[in-house]
Structure 1
Amino acid sequence: MTTSAFVFDHWARAHQQHVEQVLARLLPGEQILPERLHEAMRYAVLGGGKRVRALLSYAAAELAGTSRMTADASAAAVELIHAFSLVHDDMPCMDDDDLRRGKPSCHKQYDDATALLVGDALQSLAFECIAETQAPQALKQVQVLAQATGSRGMCGGQSIDLQSTGKRLTRAELETMHQYKTGALIRAATLLGAYAAPDTAPALIQCLEQYSQKMGLAFQVVDDILDATADTQTLGKTAGKDALQDKSTYVSLLGLEEAKTLVEALYAEALQLLAGYGAQADPLRGIAKFICERPF
Structure 2
Amino acid sequence: MNSHSALFQQRLKSHAEVVEATLADLLSPDLRTGETARPERLMAAIRHGVLNGGKRLRPFLVMESAALLGDRFACAALRVGAALECVHCYSLVHDDLPAMDDDDLRRGQPTVHIAFDEAAAILAGDSLLTLAFDILAAPETALADRAKIELVLSLARAAGIGGMVGGQVLDLAAEKTPPDEAGIVTLQAMKTGALIRFACEAGAIIADADGATRDRLRRYGETIGLAFQLADDLLDLTADTQTMGKATGKDAARGKGTLVSLKGQEWAENRLNELVGEAEGLLAPFGERANILVETARFIANRRS
Any conservation in 2 of the 1:174–1:248 contact (CA below 8 Å)?
yes
**Cα deviation, residue 11, structure 1:** 1.3
**Cα deviation, residue 85, structure 1:** 0.2
Q: Distance in 1 between matches of 2:174 and 2:302?
A: 28
Q: How does 1:225-244 map to 2 (within 5 A)?
A: 225-244=234-253
Which of 280, 284, 297 is residue 288 of structure 1 equivalent to? Answer: 297
Q: Map Cα deviations across residues 126-171 of structure 1 (whole Å, 9 max, x no partner).
A: 1000101262200000000001111100000000111111423221
Report the more deviating stretch, 102-111 or 19-28: 19-28
Where structure 1 has 5 or more consecutive residues not aligned to the other structure, the ranges are none
Higher RCO (CA 8 Å, separation ≥ 6 residues)? 1
Q: How does 1:251-266 map to 2 (within 5 A)?
A: 251-266=260-275
What residue number does 1:84 align with? Answer: 90
What residue number does 2:220 align with? Answer: 211
Report the more deviating stretch, 64-73 or 88-97: 64-73
CA gap of 1:204–1:106, structure 2 versus 1, over 3 A, is: same
Q: Distance in 1 between matches of 2:17 and 2:176?
A: 40
Quote the RMSD (CA, aligned, Å): 1.8
Q: Distance in 1 between matches of 2:29 and 2:44?
A: 7
Q: Distance in 2 between matches of 1:281 and 1:130?
A: 26
What residue number does 2:41 align with? Answer: 36
Q: Secondary structure at the match of 2:85?
A: helix
Which of 133, 151, 154 is residue 144 of structure 1 equivalent to? Answer: 154
Any conservation in 2 of the 1:90–1:97 contact (CA below 8 Å)?
yes
Q: What amino acid sits opposite 1:122 in the alignment?
A: L
CA gap of 1:4–1:135, structure 2 versus 1, over 3 A, is: closer
Asked if 1:26 is matched to 2:26, the reply is yes
Any conservation in 1 of the 2:103–2:247 contact (CA below 8 Å)?
yes
Q: Distance in 2 between matches of 1:167 and 1:174?
A: 11
Which of 207, 218, 224 is residue 233 of structure 2 equivalent to? Answer: 224
What residue number does 1:179 align with? Answer: 189
Any conservation in 2 of the 1:55–1:287 contact (CA below 8 Å)?
no
**Cα deviation, residue 92, structure 1:** 0.2
Q: Map Cα deviations across residues 11-32 of structure 1 (whole Å, 9 max, x no partner).
A: 1111111111111111132996
Q: What amino acid sits opposite 1:273 in the alignment?
A: L
Q: Distance in 1 between matches of 2:202 and 2:4?
A: 28
Any conservation in 2 of the 1:87–1:106 contact (CA below 8 Å)?
yes
CA gap of 1:68–1:4, structure 2 versus 1, over 3 A, is: closer
CA gap of 1:5–1:124, structure 2 versus 1, over 3 A, is: closer
Percent identity over paired residues: 45
Q: What amino acid sits opposite 1:82 in the alignment?
A: H
Q: What amino acid sits opposite 1:163 in the alignment?
A: A
**Cα deviation, residue 190, structure 1:** 1.2
What residue number does 1:47 align with? Answer: 52
What residue number does 1:193 align with? Answer: 203
Q: Map Cα deviations across residues 206-249 of structure 1 (whole Å, 9 max, x no partner).
A: 11111011111110010000000000001110011111111111
Any conservation in 2 of the 1:215–1:266 contact (CA below 8 Å)?
yes
Q: Secondary structure at the match of 1:239?
A: coil
**Cα deviation, residue 33, structure 1:** 3.4
Which of 63, 69, 74 is residue 64 of structure 1 equivalent to? Answer: 69
What residue number does 1:114 align with? Answer: 120
* Structure 1 residue ranges, 4+ long, deviating more than 6 angstroms after superposition: none
- State the aligned residue count: 294
Any conservation in 2 of the 1:29–1:39 contact (CA below 8 Å)?
no
Q: Map Cα deviations across residues 258-279 of structure 1 (whole Å, 9 max, x no partner).
A: 1111111101110111112122
What residue number does 1:10 align with? Answer: 10
Query: TM-score w.r.t. structure 2 length?
Result: 0.92
**Cα deviation, residue 3, structure 1:** 7.0
Q: Map Cα deviations across residues 47-101 of structure 1 (whole Å, 9 max, x no partner).
A: 3211110111011110122522211111101100000000000000000000000
Which of 134, 139, 143 is residue 135 of structure 1 equivalent to? Answer: 143
